[in-house]
Structure 1
Amino acid sequence: MSLAVLLLAVPAHAQQTEASPLAPVSLQALAARADAVVLAQVRDTDYLRRRDIPVSGSAYLKVLIPYKTDRSADLIEVYEKGLHDHECYFPNPTVFEEGRRYLLFLRRDEEDPERYRGMPEGCALDVLVADDNRYVLRYPVTGVALSDPLEEMARPVTFGDGYAVVDEEDLLPQERDRMLNAGQIRRYGEGEWIYTTGVDLAEARRLIGVEALLD
C-alpha cells in the first residue's frame, strides 16, 4: 500500500500540527545543533502501528560512517512517538532486503540517553549507492527543508541501488510530472520510475564543514 493511501487513512486531526512550518535550514546549521551525524542503514524496527501506520517505537540502524557522535556504537536506536511534521520513522526491510541508507541528524533522547530522537527540522536524508559504489544523496531531497543550493550541485547519476526505483502509486501525479520535466526521474518499467540525479555525499560533507562536526 502506498504512503499516500496510508495517509488518507489517518484522521484529519491526526495529520494536523499546531507548530508553524520551520524555515529551511543549512546542512551546516543542522549538523552543528545535532548530537550525532551519521550515515546509517536500517537493520530493524519495533513500532506500535495503527492502521499499518507507525505511531511510536524504535528503529535500529547500523552506523556506516560516523561523522559526529557522542558515543562509540556500531548500532544506534532512534525513538519516535506520535504523528507530526518531520516525524522520524523508517521503513522496515524484509528478510530478503537490505535496509535503506540515510544521512541522519539526531539529538539525544532526554528521557533515555542511550537512544536518539530526530531533530525538529527532520532527521533523515535518503542516500543511494551509485553504480560505481559512491554514496549519493538522492535528489530532490525529502525529509528536511534545506537552504543549501543542492539544485546547482545535483548531477546525473546511474544508480545501482534498488531503492532508486519507486512505484508509480507512491508518487503524486504533480510530483511525478515535476520531476519528470526536470529530468530527475525516468521510466524504469511497468508502473515504475527510477531516480536519475543526486548530490555526491562527499560534496554534502563539504557543505557541512569541519566546525559543525566538532563536539
Structure 2
Amino acid sequence: MELITKYFTDFTPHQLQLFDSLFELYAEWNSRINVISRKDIDSLYEKHVLHSLSIAAVFEWQAGMEIIDIGTGGGFPGIPLAIFFPEVQFHLVDSVGKKIKVVNAVAAELGLQNVTTQHGRAEEIKNRRFDTAVSRAVAPLVQLLSWSKPLLRKRLPDQNTEPAYNKKTGAGQLQPVSGLICLKGGDLAMEIAESNSRPLSIEIFELFNEEYFKEKYILFVDKF
C-alpha cells in the first residue's frame, strides 16, 4: 500500500480505504480461485495495483466517460482505475467465468457503483460503444486493435487527443477521447510493426522508479 501513496498523494480517505482493502480481498479469493499467480500475491500492490495505475499517471478521463477493460482477468487494470476515477464508468470483460466471479465479488465488496462486468469475449459485444479500451498483457497489439475498433465511439474532428505527457513529473494531461491503452512488456518493436500502428509509448519506469517496471510500457493508439 505504501507504494501507492509514494506515487499518488491526492486520494480521498475513502479511496485510501478501498485501496487498502484490496490485499485482503484478493488474498482471500485467490486462496479459492487462482486469478493471480500465488507467488505474486504478496506483491499485489506493485505488480498489479500500481502497474494498473500507471495509466492514471498519464491519462485523465472526464466524468461520465465509459471505459472497457478487455481481458480483465482478476480485475486489472479496471478495478484500481475504477477506484481512482469514481465518476468514470468501467465495463470489465473476460471470457473466463471464474475470473469474472472474483471481479464481481471484489467490486461488490468495495461498493464500486461505476463497475459493470461481462462474461464473454470483447469481439462478441454488439450495439455498445466506449470512449477508451484498456488492457493488460492480454493479446498482441494487432489483435487488441481489431477487438477495440468496433467498440470505440468515433472521435469528432475537433476532439484533440495529441499527447501532452510531462516526462519530468509523470503528470498526464492527455484526455483519450477514443483509443486503445494497453500495458505491455519486453521488446515490442516487432509487435508494433506487425500492428501497422504508431502508438505513443511510455516506459513505466519513467513514472515509477521501481526495478519491476523496467521494460514495461504503456502503449496508446488513437488512430486506427
Q: What is the TM-score when the length of structure 2 is the normalising length?
A: 0.28
TM-score by length of 1: 0.29
Higher strand share: 1
Greater helix content: 2
